[in-house]
Amino acid sequence: MKPAPFDWHAPATLAEALALKARHGDAARFLAGGQSLVPAMNFRVAQPEVLVDLNRVAGLSGLTWAEDGTLVIGAMTRYREIERSAEVAQRLPLLVEALAEVAHPQIRTRGTLGGNLAHADPASEMPAVMLALEARFRLASMRGEREVAAADFFAAPLTTILEADEMLAEIRIPPLPARSGTAFLEVARRRGDYAMLGVAAVLVRDAAGRCAEARLAFLSAGPTPLRTPRAEALLRGRMLDDATLEDAAALVRQEVDPMGSVQANPGYQRHLAGVLARRALALAWSRA
């Protein structure tokens, strides 16, 4: 297959890129790593009239740490740069653990975090991880900038709250609390395939050893990545024994809203959500 005809622009600055998007609006798409957009264009699922190639724009990639320990990731940062960072692995192990499950090394070498998040595939690992880590996104346009929580960014399958003239420019991930443990688990038919279901877990112990905070974020469990607030609330203030974990898993099965896929029907996905939640919580608890 070949894509429909389009105009291609390769701006050198963020201002140029944003000006092009403002001029063409929904007719234009930003090109980052191209691992999702280019196949969609080849199958003519996506038919942008204009491509704004971000690969020559300075200042849109890289990892920096703010004074408060927040990790700041430029939207054009390749997966492999994050995955290979020893400091990220030490401070935010959930991010590196989940990245190892994303597709294959060739894809991770080219794919970008910002491009993936803007694509907003509910079966993708990174949107769910951003929910679990309570990340915030900086959105930029010629009108200015705004910051939104990851929880407010994903609107529907393959749809975000980005306006027609906006770009996801930066991802900010706050430091994990003290005495925290994390875990990422997913089930796929083969390594690198889309997951039938996956979960990212963050747990924090208090001084007495009880659960002070719990976050559970799921992929392939609904039209967007989602958290399970009832299950999270159940865990707070409790020791995570087998009975508590089973109660949380039962609530998870009620809270997820899987749509089914060619690999798994909704009933099986709901079952997986409970199984993986229990396992991920036990693993994160052991690491906290």
Q: What does the pLDDT read at residue 1?
A: 73
CATH classification of 7-53, choosing from 1.10.40.50, 3.40.50.300, 3.90.1170.40, 3.30.43.10? 3.30.43.10
pLDDT tens, position by position, 116-130: 999 999 999 999 999
Strand partners for 203? 181, 214
Residue 192 pLDDT class (50, 70, 90 cuts): confident
pLDDT tens, position by position, 30-50: 999 999 999 999 999 999 999
Structure tokens at 15: 């201002």
234, 221 contact by CB (below 8 A): no
pLDDT tens, position by position, 260-276: 998 899 999 999 999 99
Q: What does the pLDDT read at residue 191?
A: 86
Stretch(es) of the chain classified as CATH 3.30.465.10: 63-173
Residue with tokens 């009620």: 254
CATH classification of 63-173, choosing from 1.10.390.10, 3.40.50.740, 3.30.465.10, 3.20.20.60? 3.30.465.10
What is the rounded distance in angstroms from the CA atom of residue 201 to the CA atom of residue 218?
9
Structure tokens at 279: 């396992």
